[in-house]
Structure 1
Amino acid sequence: MMISVTDMLNRIARDGLGYADPEDVIHIAKSVWYYDLIPDLSAVNGPFRNDVGYLFDCLARFNVLTKERKLALIDAVAPYKPACPMPSENCLDPRAIAWGASYDLKAFMGDILPFQTRHYAAGHGW
């Protein structure tokens, strides 16, 4: 059974990025980078919704996206960024701290980096 991106996002919002399945993070990243996914964080619920906002904020900053797509992603999640985030001991990334995320993306970088290259995109028809 195929799980939807919305379900993946809600699972991260429920459990936290530290407990995310790397395959979910890969799928979300590819959906952002190659299928023009723009998140609606109002449809994402859970105590770790800031983790989801942080994830999209990070994914928007990879060079595989055009400037317009980057700005659209950042604009889509910006209203959900907390004004006074609570720091987490699991985060060293300043962007994660600014979001009040419970965990940073560092643990998933090895999983997603192979998919963020223009070489990968060209080889898969994107």
Structure 2
Amino acid sequence: MQRLRTPAWIARHVAMVVLVVGFLGLGWWQVTRAAGGNALSFGYAIEWPVFAGFVVFVWWREVRQALRAAPGPSAEDAPPATAGDEPVAPTLAVRRPVRVARVPSTPTEGADDGELAAYNRYLSWLNANPGARPGDYPG
């Protein structure tokens, strides 16, 4: 429960109370306007308490999430793990890069098209000359 008494959490608790009281007050104001003959205010009289309920729902969900979080020092503050007398480096989940094979695909229908073949030669030249500009193409 100590985690819910930090300055950040106190500000959240105060904001929740202010919003709920304000939204319920606005709902009551709309009820009095609706009783005075303003038919549109009946919708707003229902809407403001729904907003207050949403604020309570979000606050309660955040409180539960904070209480479920395991207390303890962060990874930077923790002493290094040891195996016997030697320190063990922390293991990080690093993914290996994906290697993509650069082989041309097998030709399909229309491969005899001269324009397509010229375009493929141009793309092969661009791939072989990564710093070149399209205007440098000799073909």
Give the TM-score normalised by the residue count of structure 2: 0.23
Query: Which protein shows a greater Rg?
Result: 2
Higher relative contact order (CA 8 A, sep 6+): 1
Which structure features the higher share of helix residues? 1
Which structure features the higher share of strand residues? 2
Give the TM-score normalised by the residue count of structure 1: 0.25
